[in-house]
């Protein structure tokens, strides 16, 4: 880094000098020394501030550069030549802003809006600086530098007072390489993720659990009841199941009452015990006596003394209110006359009360309204759906829904809708043979149909259960 002195901008120098001159009267007044005949530098007196005591200032050429009145411009003889940009020295009022050639910034520095060299920023935490010509290491990505508070303050002040924009960075030799951000939940267990900080991506396999950042298998016998171990498979670590004072590991009041307590009484068991009541178990404890609020209007409860169970009492006519199921028909005193009250209600229609309900619609008027139907006004309401029977199989009628119009459903593979073996052999199969019909067929035998099949014994065949004992004629001698 260049160790040349940093100089304030010319505007700032002028501001400081002006402020010092404004303080001169107060300084003179404070000491009240000018005019005593003594030139006292310790009391801030000189030829400029107290000519009475110190005399006139010596003119230019006395070999002394009086900074209060002389400079390199007004008196080069005393103060020397003014600095020139390009003379190899950062002097006078030169700065990186006015003469970057003499006042260059160091490596990784820039000349800010206040004409002062400053660092271009540091790498964020957990990041490393890598030479520009090298690639970022695996798992990292190039990231911008972080600027400190004072660097941001300089930039802010530069914008407020209208100074020039920061100049380009003089020399940049490194870049920041930061770890690639980890995205938990993308189903990929990436570098930096583990079962401890991202279970969604790095969950443990079956039979293992997460301990810290690693998946481990439970080890029965280490005196620790780890996830996956139970009193059933590792009583040495987890203790015995029944008798450990905890109702767990599938224990119930039936197999471990010592841990889980006695089972509650069952309803019904013939005894009203435990927490059973007439409400929870009427079979054991009997029916509860009537009580207002039990949801049943029973006993001596009425709508007067138990509205909750029995509901509101029906309105009385007249009571001055048209309420409940009262209408102008049932209670004229409370509800007034029906027709003529200005409302089409209580069963009124355009036919019996056109004053309240308006005139009835006419047919046809292009709209199916009022009391019109497909029967009374087909032109407005359209034709009625087919009726069964009407002599025509139409609409959604079928042999199943309307046999009278559509005929039997023979041939649908089901012997239904009144089909028989006589009128629908395909669905119902052949009819059983009749006895006698002159033919011994089907399942007929000499036993159940001798009329068609003849008598059993004596037909010349030892069949139909005949033996030599009861039909030696057909079966031979035993």
- 3-state SS of 413-447 is CCCCCCCCCCCCHHHHCCCCCCCCCCCCCCCCCCC
Determine the pLDDT at residue 107: 66
Using DSSP, state whether 308 is helix, strand or coil. helix
Cα 16 from Cα 323, distance rounded (Å): 96
The reply to whether 58 and 100 lie within a common domain is yes
The tokens describing 201, both together, are 């991506």
Share of the chain above pLDDT 90, in %: 2
In a domain, 69, yes or no: yes
Determine the pLDDT at residue 117: 78
The reply to whether 405 and 426 lie within a common domain is yes
Residue 134 has pLDDT above 50, yes or no: yes
Neighbours of 73 (CB within 10 A): 9
The reply to whether 93 and 160 lie within a common domain is no
Which DSSP symbol is given to 263? P
The reply to whether 133 and 174 lie within a common domain is yes
The tokens describing 120, both together, are 């271009």
Determine the pLDDT at residue 68: 65
Average pLDDT, stretch 186-192?
83
Determine the pLDDT at residue 167: 45
Cα 278 from Cα 199, distance rounded (Å): 52
Residue 31 has pLDDT above 60, yes or no: no
Using DSSP, state whether 77 is helix, strand or coil. helix
Band of pLDDT at residue 17, cut at 50, 70 and 90: very low
Phi first, then psi, for residue 176 (nearest 5°) are -95, 130
Average pLDDT, stretch 124-132?
85
Residue 168 has pLDDT above 60, yes or no: no
Residue 330 has pLDDT above 70, yes or no: yes
Residue 70 has pLDDT above 60, yes or no: yes
In a domain, 307, yes or no: no
Determine the pLDDT at residue 160: 57
Highest mean predicted confidence (pLDDT) among 54-63, 107-116, 132-141, 351-360: 132-141
The reply to whether 96 and 173 lie within a common domain is no
Share of the chain above pLDDT 70, in %: 85
Determine the pLDDT at residue 215: 92
Residue 49 has pLDDT above 80, yes or no: no
Cα torsion 447, 448, 452, 454 to 10°: value is 20
Determine the pLDDT at residue 149: 53
Element housing 224 (H / E): none
Highest mean predicted confidence (pLDDT) among 133-142, 341-350, 391-400: 133-142
Lowest-confidence range among 14-23, 32-41, 193-202, 468-477?
14-23
Mean pLDDT of the chain: 76
Which DSSP symbol is given to 8? -
Strand ranges inside 181-325, DSSP E: 209-211, 214-216
Q: In residues, how long is the chain?
A: 478
Residue 418 has pLDDT above 80, yes or no: no
The reply to whether 169 and 139 lie within a common domain is yes
The reply to whether 82 and 35 lie within a common domain is yes
Band of pLDDT at residue 151, cut at 50, 70 and 90: low
Using DSSP, state whether 379 is helix, strand or coil. helix
The reply to whether 116 and 171 lie within a common domain is yes
Cα 222 from Cα 220, distance rounded (Å): 6
Domain boundary at 136, 159, 179, which? 179
Average pLDDT, stretch 180-186?
83
Q: 47-51: which pairs have CB atoms within 8 A and are 24 or more residues apart?
A: 49/24
Domain boundary at 43, 70, 104, which? 104
The reply to whether 115 and 98 lie within a common domain is no
Spatial CA neighbour of 116 closest among 90, 88, 144: 90
Lowest-confidence range among 21-35, 111-125, 410-424, 455-469?
21-35
The reply to whether 156 and 138 lie within a common domain is yes
Contact 214, 194 (CB under 8 A): yes
How many separate domains does the chain show? 4
Domain extent for 116: 109-179
Highest mean predicted confidence (pLDDT) among 36-50, 102-116, 373-387, 419-433: 373-387
Cα 91 from Cα 100, distance rounded (Å): 12
């Amino acid at each position: 880094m260049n160790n040349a002195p940093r100089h304030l901008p010319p505007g700032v120098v002028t501001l400081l000098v002006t402020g010092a001159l404004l303080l001169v009267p107060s300084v003179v007044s404070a000491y009240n020394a000018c005019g005593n005949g003594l030139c006292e530098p310790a009391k801030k007196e000189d030829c400029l501030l107290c000519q009475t005591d110190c005399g006139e200032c010596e003119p230019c050429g006395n070999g002394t550069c009086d900074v209060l009145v002389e400079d390199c411009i007004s008196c080069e003889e005393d103060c020397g030549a003014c600095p020139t940009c390009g003379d190899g020295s950062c002097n006078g009022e030169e700065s990186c802003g006015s003469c970057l050639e003499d006042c260059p910034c160091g490596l990784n520095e820039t000349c800010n809006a206040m004409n002062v060299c400053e660092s271009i920023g540091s790498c964020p935490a957990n990041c490393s600086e890598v030479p520009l010509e090298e690639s970022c290491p695996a798992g990292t990505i190039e990231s911008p530098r972080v600027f400190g508070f004072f660097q941001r303050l300089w930039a802010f002040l530069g914008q407020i007072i209208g100074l020039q924009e920061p100049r380009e960075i003089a020399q940049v030799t490194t870049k920041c390489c930061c770890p690639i951000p980890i995205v938990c939940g993308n189903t990929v267990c990436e570098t930096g993720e583990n079962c401890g900080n991202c279970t969604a991506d790095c969950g443990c396999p079956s039979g293992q659990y997460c301990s810290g950042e690693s998946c481990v298998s439970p080890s029965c016998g280490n005196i620790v009841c780890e996830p996956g171990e139970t009193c059933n498979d590792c009583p040495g670590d987890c203790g015995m199941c029944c008798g450990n004072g905890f109702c767990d590991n599938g224990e119930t009041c039936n197999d471990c009452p010592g841990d889980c307590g006695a089972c509650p009484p069952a309803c019904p068991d013939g005894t009203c015990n435990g927490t059973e009541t007439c409400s929870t178990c009427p079979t054991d404890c009997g029916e509860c006596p009537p009580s207002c609020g039990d949801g049943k209007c029973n006993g001596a409860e009425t709508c007067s003394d138990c509205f909750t169970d029995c509901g509101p009492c029906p309105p009385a006519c007249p009571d001055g209110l048209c309420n409940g199921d009262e209408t102008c028909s049932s209670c004229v005193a409370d509800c007034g006359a029906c027709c003529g009250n200005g409302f089409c209600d209580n069963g009124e229609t355009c036919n019996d009360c056109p004053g309240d309900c308006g005139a009835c619609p006419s047919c046809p008027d292009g709209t199916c309204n009022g009391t019109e139907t497909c029967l009374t006004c087909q032109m407005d309401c359209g034709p009625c759906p087919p009726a069964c029977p009407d002599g025509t199989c139409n609409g959604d009628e079928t042999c199943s829904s309307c046999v009278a119009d559509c005929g039997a459903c023979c041939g649908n593979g089901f012997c239904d809708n009144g089909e028989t073996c006589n009128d629908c052999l395909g669905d119902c199969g052949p009819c059983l043979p009749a006895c006698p019909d002159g033919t011994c067929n089907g399942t007929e035998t000499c036993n159940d149909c001798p009329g068609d099949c003849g008598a059993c014994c004596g037909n010349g065949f030892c069949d139909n259960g005949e033996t030599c004992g009861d039909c030696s004629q057909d079966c031979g001698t035993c």
